[in-house]
Chains A and B, each alone.
Chain A
Amino acid sequence: MVDGGALPPALAAVDRDGALAEAAANAAAGGSELRRASRPTRRGLIGLGAGAAGLGFAGRARAAAGSTTGSQQDIGILNYALSLEYLQASFYSEAERLHSLHGALADQARIVGGHERAHVSAFQKVLGSQAIKRPTFNFQGVTEDPDGFRRTAVAFEDLAVEAYKYQAPRLQSQAFLAAAIAIHSVEARHAAWIRRLAGVLPAATAFDQPLPPRRVEALVASTHFVVAAPDMASHQAPKFTG
């Protein structure tokens, strides 16, 4: 997706601070440079996660891609998928609630949002108490502007397809693999649908490339869509008029 150092237009649109472009450029140069390039954004994301609900795209991604064995690895991968589903479901839900889209785009958001929320429910159910919590998102107005929504939706759907593609073969349970593939193909349909609405070729290549977690992490971090939850409770004595 970002191979060769050049970002597709859809990703460039959400790469607000250029971190992804930098990571992509370094990916072409070598893995160690990619790691160095993505370190600041990853650190930022981890910092936010520690202070907030603890999304841990980074931590989950490493667990999924790391050397853990057996069901532990599968749980890591399922939680990693859940964090991506949270991102997508929250994005579509917010757009639908704001009534900022019309026509075919509104239909896409409503139907795909329903799918993403169903994916969230499925992962939460299978993970039970081990499911990570939903983080706090700030989509920074892209859900309120059709152009911004369209570009971001293309990026999110491409991201999901490529992330699933990377993780699915790492699942040790055949049963989880079967479920993951069932979701993966639906994400690919979503990607084709929104690409068509955005005027981008729905199937641009004969073979899709998987996207490793570090690259997913860099992309998500570069958008700054994951934020610390607002603190609206205090133990300070009230000074209201009484």
Chain B
Amino acid sequence: MRRKLGRTLALILTPALGVAGLLALVLHPQAPPARSASQWTGLPPPAASGFVVPAPHELAALRGASRWAPVRSSVLARAAPGPRAHPVAAVSTQTPEGTTNILELLGPARVGRTGLWQRVRLAVLPNGTSAWVPRSALGGSVVLDTHLLVDRAHLHMSLFRDGKRVFSAPIGIGQPQSPTPAGDFYVRNVLSRYRSATYGPIAFGTSARSPTLTDWPAGGYVGIHGTNQPNLIPGRISHGCIRLRNADMLRLAALMPVGTPITVQ
């Protein structure tokens, strides 16, 4: 059977190869039988590439990604996406600490008759207020995969990156008469190299505000900072700020970028 198949193939292929060879002679009568492509054309070999472009870099899927953007021009935040909607709060370009004011972006921008509008989380009382601002008032958005969780019941905080816990520490929170507010907030700025042992070496400003200390200088914003009384941590000891031992604060500062969303529960 196998021998028969071989004979059949030979009968078909022999004339076919002969025709192909004849065609090659007709088309390239002076072609030498075995030479490299570069010799064929008389061209030099190609230059080696100076660097190699790697395979395409796909964006990693981020769990719990959030976005923020700086405020580029002072603007009135409104209850709905449009210039005639009820004004909710004035948003300035700077924080009380003199840094660029940033806003957490909530959901996608919406295309309206007057351009793009973006819903944002505001750093105003009552805590948890959101409103709409024209996209044109904001700068480029930044995506983060960090999230800080503050657990008031257990006097403990954890920082997550891409859904994985990367930091945890005991904390001090507000006393009963000046509680640390619950809700969703974000880190607005970072202060360092100041002269105040009370706040430790580094302090993060947040969008949370004390609902009780409304006459506090600079608006009564809640910070996350170090301390000169580490023995009081963990405890309910502050005016609303979240205190950490200084060593923990330094570790957190190395891991948590400005803009990180915060959940206080």
Spell out A's residues near B (CB within 8 Å). 93-94, 96-100, 110-111, 113-115, 117-119, 121-123, 125-126, 136-141, 144-145, 173-179, 182-183, 227, 230-242
Known: A238-B191, A240-B205, A241-B210. A140 touches B102 (CB 8 A): no
The reply to whether B199 and A242 contact each other, CB–CB distance below 8 Å, is: yes
The reply to whether A236 and B98 contact each other, CB–CB distance below 8 Å, is: yes
The reply to whether B108 and A144 contact each other, CB–CB distance below 8 Å, is: yes
Taken together as a complex, chains A and B put the C-alpha atoms of A68 and B57 apart, in Å, by 33
Known: A118-B54, A178-B49, A233-B191. A238 touches B203 (CB 8 A): yes
B45 to chain A, nearest CB (A): 11
B193: A residues at CB distance < 8 A: 235
- Which residues of B in the span 12-63 have a Cβ within 8 Å of any Cβ on A? 46-59
Q: C-beta contact mask, B207-229 vs A, less than 8 Å → 1, else 0? A: 00010010011101111010000
A100: B residues at CB distance < 8 A: 108-109
Taken together as a complex, chains A and B put the C-alpha atoms of A194 and B54 apart, in Å, by 23
Q: Which of A125, A174, A241 contacts B221 (CB 8 A)?
A: A241
Q: Which of B47, B139, B218 contacts A230 (CB 8 A)?
A: B139
- Segment of B75-83, B84-92, B154-162, B235-243 engaged in the interface with chain A: B235-243
Q: Which of A126, A139, A237 is the most central at the interface, judged by chain B CB atoms within 10 Å of its CB?
A: A237
Known: A145-B116, A240-B241. A117 touches B56 (CB 8 A): yes
Q: Which of A144, A175, A238, A241 contacts B135 (CB 8 A)?
A: A144
Q: C-beta contact mask, B103-129 vs A, less than 8 Å → 1, else 0? A: 000001101000110000000000000
A-B contact pairs, 19 of them (CB 8 A): A114-B56, A114-B59, A122-B51, A122-B52, A139-B140, A144-B109, A227-B139, A232-B102, A232-B188, A232-B189, A233-B191, A235-B192, A236-B191, A238-B97, A238-B199, A239-B97, A241-B178, A241-B223, A242-B240
The reply to whether B190 and A233 contact each other, CB–CB distance below 8 Å, is: yes
The answer to whether the Cβ of B258 comes within 8 Å of any Cβ in the partner chain is yes
The reply to whether A98 and B48 contact each other, CB–CB distance below 8 Å, is: no
Known: A235-B193, A238-B191. A175 touches B199 (CB 8 A): no
Known: A99-B108, A114-B56, A122-B53. A242 touches B239 (CB 8 A): yes
Nearest residue, chain A, Cβ from B117: A141
B253 to chain A, nearest CB (A): 11
Taken together as a complex, chains A and B put the C-alpha atoms of A121 and B52 apart, in Å, by 10
B202 to chain A, nearest CB (A): 10
Known: A139-B140, A145-B109. A239 touches B96 (CB 8 A): yes
The answer to whether the Cβ of B141 comes within 8 Å of any Cβ in the partner chain is yes
The reply to whether A138 and B59 contact each other, CB–CB distance below 8 Å, is: no
Q: Which of A111, A138, A179, A239 contacts B72 (CB 8 A)?
A: A138
Classify the interface of chain B: helix, strand, loop or mixed: loop
Known: A227-B139, A241-B222. A125 touches B51 (CB 8 A): yes
Taken together as a complex, chains A and B put the C-alpha atoms of A242 and B47 apart, in Å, by 65
A145: B residues at CB distance < 8 A: 109, 111, 116
A174: B residues at CB distance < 8 A: 47
The reply to whether A175 and B47 contact each other, CB–CB distance below 8 Å, is: yes
The answer to whether the Cβ of B265 comes within 8 Å of any Cβ in the partner chain is no
B258: A residues at CB distance < 8 A: 232-233
A169 to chain B, nearest CB (A): 14
The reply to whether A241 and B108 contact each other, CB–CB distance below 8 Å, is: no
The reply to whether B53 and A179 contact each other, CB–CB distance below 8 Å, is: yes
Known: A235-B191, A242-B198. A119 touches B222 (CB 8 A): no
Nearest residue, chain B, Cβ from A233: B190
The reply to whether B57 and A241 contact each other, CB–CB distance below 8 Å, is: no
Q: Which of A137, A178, A234 contacts B97 (CB 8 A)?
A: A234
Taken together as a complex, chains A and B put the C-alpha atoms of A97 and B139 apart, in Å, by 16
A128 to chain B, nearest CB (A): 11
Taken together as a complex, chains A and B put the C-alpha atoms of A172 and B70 apart, in Å, by 42
The answer to whether the Cβ of B195 comes within 8 Å of any Cβ in the partner chain is yes
The reply to whether A234 and B99 contact each other, CB–CB distance below 8 Å, is: yes
Taken together as a complex, chains A and B put the C-alpha atoms of A152 and B203 apart, in Å, by 40
The reply to whether A141 and B210 contact each other, CB–CB distance below 8 Å, is: no
Q: Which of B53, B140, B196 contacts A237 (CB 8 A)?
A: B196
The reply to whether B191 and A234 contact each other, CB–CB distance below 8 Å, is: yes
Taken together as a complex, chains A and B put the C-alpha atoms of A178 and B46 apart, in Å, by 8
The reply to whether A140 and B136 contact each other, CB–CB distance below 8 Å, is: yes
Nearest residue, chain B, Cβ from A225: B140
The answer to whether the Cβ of B65 comes within 8 Å of any Cβ in the partner chain is yes
Top 6 nearest A-B pairs (CB, nearest first) are A240-B223, A114-B56, A175-B50, A138-B140, A174-B47, A230-B100
Nearest residue, chain B, Cβ from A96: B59
Nearest residue, chain B, Cβ from A140: B136
A52 to chain B, nearest CB (A): 11
